[in-house]
Amino acid sequence: MIVKDMETISISRCFGGTQGIYAHASAETRTRMRFSVFVPPQAEQGPVPVVWFLSGLTCTEENFTVKAGAQRMAAALGLMLVAPDTSPRGVDDGGETVPDDPEGAWDFGLGAGFYVDATEAPWARNYRMFSYISDELPQLIAGAFPADMNAQGIMGHSMGGHGALTIALRHPGRFRSVSAFAPIVSPLNCPWGEKALGGYLGPDRSRWRAHDAVALIEDGARCPHILVDQGMADGFVASQLKPDLLEAACNAAGQPLTLNRRDGYDHSYYFIASFMEDHLRWHAAALRD
């Protein structure tokens, strides 16, 4: 199937498959959005399972694609990897410049969409990352790539870990595997989350619960067994990430969780690359069941 207005920015042979960077006109964000797709060699024989990776604050689709070292193992396991950008950017279809934090902060605005659909001005016009990731981009992937959409997993890092957890919890049955590296587990209870959800969704904290993994679990949402790796030398672990809150909520609710506390590891892609194979094997096992 040919998807209208999808541009191939680059494509390279990689571990017997292909690593591509693409762009398309998004109806949700009203901007041109970029994303990367690694297609493993097994796709030459038919559709393959899909694992989504959602990146963290300040990132684009490039960070995971270049730094995570995921393609070798994805090729061995027969997994397609899809990595979208983290926010709308540039000028939209109405000629409006996508707004950024007025003070130029790195934790809000461009590169910090937080995987929500904003309701507050001026963000509501373009910042619709929840619907973009949940609905629009999957439809494009299903139409343009040899993807088995009945075998999907999702993972992410930091803000993207928050996105992976909340999107999986809000779409029961869609994702057969869920994992995260150093996720923001409770935006209701950390400065990054309070700034982002307050700015995008307004001051009513009850509306934030739909974008907080801990709150969703407390409110009855469930997803498959969650795998989390957290570096214990991460400077954000106590103030922003708070994995203990996720552990407590999962224990109370009976939500299966494997939480690996990794001594000496920080918040960087060195940490992600160190345990990427473990996560991809986790996803592959679940997607083949």
Edge-to-edge order in the sheet of strand 175-181: 6-14, 17-25, 32-39, 80-84, 48-54, 147-157, 175-181, 226-231, 257-262
| Residue 275 confidence (pLDDT) | 98
| Residue 5 confidence (pLDDT) | 82
| Residue 4 confidence (pLDDT) | 61
pLDDT tens digits, one per residue of 189-243: 999 999 999 999 999 999 999 999 999 999 999 999 999 999 999 999 999 999 9
* Percentage of the residues of the chain whose pLDDT score is greater than 90: 98
Contacts of 7 (CB under 8 A, 6+ apart): 22, 23, 24
- 157, 162, 267, 279: which one is catalytic? 267
Is the pLDDT higher at 2 or at 201? 201
- 36, 179, 234, 283: which one is catalytic? 234
- 36, 55, 158, 179: which one is catalytic? 158
Bridge partner list, 37: 20, 82
Contacts of 288 (CB under 8 A, 6+ apart): 49, 151
Please, are residues 23 and 34 in contact by the beta-carbon 8 Å criterion? yes
Give me the residue label for tokens 């559709």: 47
Could you tell me how many residues make up the chain? 289
158 is catalytic: yes
Give me the residue label for tokens 């590296």: 181
Nearest CA to 255 among 209, 215, 288, 286?
A: 215
Please give the Cα distance from 262 to 234 (Å, whole number).
Answer: 10
| Residue 267 confidence (pLDDT) | 98
pLDDT tens digits, one per residue of 243-257: 999 999 999 999 999
| Residue 227 confidence (pLDDT) | 98
pLDDT tens digits, one per residue of 36-61: 999 999 999 999 999 999 999 999 99
Please give the Cα distance from 105 to 86 (Å, whole number).
Answer: 15
Dihedral over Cα of 112, 187, 66, 10: its sign: negative
Query: Domains of the chain (ranges plus CATH)?
Result: 6-287 (3.40.50.1820)
Give the chain's mean pLDDT. 97
Going by pLDDT thresholds of 50, 70 and 90, the confidence category of residue 3 is: low
pLDDT tens digits, one per residue of 168-193: 999 999 999 999 999 999 999 999 99
Give me the residue label for tokens 């982002």: 196
User: The tokens of 80 are what?
Assistant: 């397609």
Question: Is pLDDT at 124 greater than 70 in this prediction?
Answer: yes
Query: 9 in helix, strand or coil?
Result: strand
First CA to last CA across the chain, in angstroms?
Answer: 28
